Amino acid sequence: MIRVLIPTDADFEYKKCKKMYKKYQRLVGDNQEFRDLVKNTFFYSFYDDAQLLGCIYYYTKNDKLFVNAFANRHTHEKNLLCLKKTFEWFKCDIYAETKHKTAIYCLYKCGFKKIDDCLYKLER
């Protein structure tokens, strides 16, 4: 069963999430300090049993809602489920920016369409 935690949850594993972020930060294309990322976004961590699958975070930019994520390798199908679940929490269009081929593939599988160079949109 997949479990979702947010930073205010008592059992949120800040250090594990930070370590994973640092590992994939370059691929995610985000230059923020992890503490700022957690503080300034809608941040969710996802677990399958006790194993951290990955994290998804939403933020606003130019009055638009953007999504970004990082996750352990070899958990693609579970990550898709997690990402799709988060779409239920927002009623507006969702945007994503990426150059990473695996992320692009994931976005397409979730219904995003390319609207510009490295910019994708899920219409709601």
Q: Give residue-wise pLDDT tens across range 8-54.
A: 999 999 999 999 999 988 887 778 899 999 999 999 999 998 899 99
CA dist 105 and 107 (Å) reads 5
Q: Is the pLDDT of residue 74 over 90?
A: no
Per-residue pLDDT reduced to its tens digit, 77-109:
999 999 999 999 999 999 999 988 888 999 999
CA dist 78 and 93 (Å) reads 23
Q: Is the pLDDT of residue 72 over 90?
A: no
Mean pLDDT value of segment 66-83:
91
CA dist 59 and 78 (Å) reads 22
Retrieve residue 24's tokens. 């994939």
pLDDT at 69: 94
